[in-house]
Each structure stands twice: as C-alpha cells, then as structure tokens.
Amino acid sequence: MDTVNSSTSSSNTELETDTGAEPTAHSPRYTLLWLATLAATFAIFLGTSEALIRLHVEPNDLLLKHASLMSTSTSANAVFGDSHASLGFTGQPEFVNLAFPGENLRTIASKVEHYFSERSPGKVIFQLGPHQFSERRNSEFGLDYRNADWKPGASRALSAWYRPKVLNFWKVYLTGDEFRVNRALQTDGAQTVDTSLAEMPPSDRRTQAERTVTDQLPAAEPATSTAAQTAKSILSALISRGAEVCLVTFPVAPDQVAYAKRHPEIAATRRYIDELAHSLTLKRVDYWSAIQDYALFTNSDHLNALGASQLASMAVADCGFGQTEG
C-alpha cells in the first residue's frame, strides 16, 4: 500500500511541475498571451490607421482646412452659407468665404457665433434660399463650431477630430473609393469647380434639376419653420453686433427654375425671405433666376468657378458694399 501511494504521489508531483504543458483558457499564461496578441493587433491597427490618415485623408480634408482658415483669418467681412455660397462666391479680396457644403442653419449659427466671438463683424453676405428651409436639412444639428476640437494632435488616429471616423476611413479605402474631392480650395475659403453644366445632355440636365427640387422642398409654412426661427436668431445677433448684413439667394439653373414652379412652397419661401429682410431692415438680393447661361453652372443648383467669380462681383455691388476687384 505504501508503494502504491508513493507512486501515485510522485506521478501527481510530476504533472503539477510539468512546465511544458499547454496553457489553458483560465491559466495566467493564456491571459498574458491573449493580452500580448491584443496589444500587438491594436498597435498594428493604430500604426496603419495613422498612415492611412496622414497619406490619404488629411491632404483631402477640406473641413479641417476650413476650420484652420476660421482660426487664422482676420477679416471682419465674411460670407456664410452652405455649398451654394461655398462654390458660388470667390475672388473678392475684402471677404473671407466661410460657407461650407452641407451645413444647415443650426450649424451656421454656431459658426457665426464662434467666428465673431473674438472680432467685431463688418460686412456680412448671408446666403438664404428656399432649400435651406427643408425640414429634413434642419432635423440634425451637425457640427458645433463653438466646441469642436480642430487640432488633430501628434497622433491623428487617436485625436478627437479623426478617431470617431477611423473605421469609416478604412471602409472607404478597402472598397476602393477615393478620398479626393473634386473641389479646389481657394485662398479666400471658396471651394470651386471648373466643370460646366453646358456639357451635360439636356435630358440629363432636366432629370438632375427635377431630382434636386424634389429632394430639397422647403417647409409648407416657412414663417413657422425651424429654419425661420434659426435664421432670425442669427441675423438679429449680427445686427446687434453692428454688422452690415445682406441676404443673398444664389442662382439655380434654368431647368431647376422651371421645375420649381410646380411647387408653390418654393415661391412662398422666397417671399418669406423678402419679408424677413424687410422686417429686419436688411439689404436683400435674389439671384434665383438671374443667370441663364448653363456654362456658368457646374450642376443644376451650383455655380462653377467662372460663375462664382461673376456672381461675387455682382453681389458685392448689389449689396451696396462697393465694387471690389474680381
């Protein structure tokens, strides 16, 4: 009996001290191995994401460059709006173009407050058109310029600016999509496009115009819309700060003008903008149907670079801001 017990005890000791055994899922060695693998994977992901952002994303990040311009510009004279003004106004040295594609009035409100928080406003060209009264456009806040962290920092992938978008960057890259944009950023902040709508077949122009009108229909009652309340707030704040404000509706191509006539809410919104300007004693310039030449548009509702230069000269003069060199 003693011999058997001794043999069994010896066998157990050998098993317990066998350093060559495979780690189990609950052993310290397994945990360390798992953590080391996880850390290595994260390091690789972080390093490759950093390279992706620096090589492909950042050079084409027009919003970051736009934000940088807001920080470095010293101009009291500014243009605010969305892509209509961003693509449609350039070449006026007195003005910085702070319009940016896709921004709704709530986002623009935060931008106006942020930009003029440390400077007094001068001459302001404020874009206001029917499409900006679309309830869909104003359903989300968008970027809050007052609290945005623009500085990417030493690590782009870990920065507040890029970190939330890293997975989407990889999706774009791995699916073969391009990070490059077709807009050229000008020194005054404008984003211009050289292509001409005149080169598009008439049937395609009409289809594009109809789709654009349908996608951007304004609220049926513009005076009581969210957009109206936001616009009033922005304009009242600018007036109280001593700004010279001119409300400008940018032009759309003839096909879009024609299709817009089928929707009375568009005409009603243009009338409301007139009334708003009158109630606040603001200069109002409406270029909605003023340009008939397709060669001055890049699509049904945006001017190209040539059209933007011409429109800017017209707007500065018509707003009573004096003619400047284009």
* Residue 43 within any structural domain of the chain: no
Question: Angle, nearest 10°, between helix axes 264-279 and 226-240?
Answer: 20
Q: How far is the C-alpha of 104 from the C-alpha of 63, rounded, in Å?
A: 15
Q: What are phi and psi of 172, to 5 degrees?
A: -60, -45
Residue 260's CATH number:
3.40.50.1110
State the total domains in the chain.
Answer: 1
Q: Which of 294, 293, 302, 305 is nearest to 201 (CA)?
A: 294
* Residue 170 within any structural domain of the chain: no
What residue numbers bound the domain in which 282 lies?
75-148+187-318
* Residue 61 within any structural domain of the chain: no
Q: How far is the C-alpha of 215 from the C-alpha of 28, rounded, in Å?
A: 59
* Residue 223 within any structural domain of the chain: yes
The residues that bridge with 127 in the sheet, in sequence order, are 248
**Alpha-carbon distance values, 148 to 65, 100, 115, 129, 164 (Å):** 14, 15, 13, 27, 13
User: DSSP code of 252?
Assistant: -
Q: Looking at residue 17, what is its pLDDT?
A: 46
* Residue 20 within any structural domain of the chain: no
Q: What is the DSSP string of 26-44?
A: TSHHHHHHHHHHHHHHHHH
* Residue 57 within any structural domain of the chain: no
Contacting residues for 81 by C-beta, under 8 A, at least 6 apart: 99, 103, 108, 126, 127, 128, 250
* Residue 94 within any structural domain of the chain: yes
Sequence letter at residue 135: E
* Residue 106 within any structural domain of the chain: yes
Q: Looking at residue 166, what is its pLDDT?
A: 87
Q: What is the pLDDT along the chain (326 residues), one digit of tens a residue?
A: 444 444 444 444 444 444 555 666 667 887 888 888 888 888 888 888 888 878 887 888 888 889 889 989 999 999 999 999 999 999 999 999 999 999 999 999 999 999 999 899 999 999 999 999 998 888 777 788 888 766 677 788 888 777 888 898 888 888 887 777 778 999 999 999 999 999 999 999 999 999 999 999 999 999 999 999 999 999 999 999 999 999 999 999 999 999 999 999 999 999 999 999 999 999 999 999 999 999 999 999 999 999 999 999 999 999 999 754 44
User: Does the reported pTM lie above 0.85?
Assistant: no
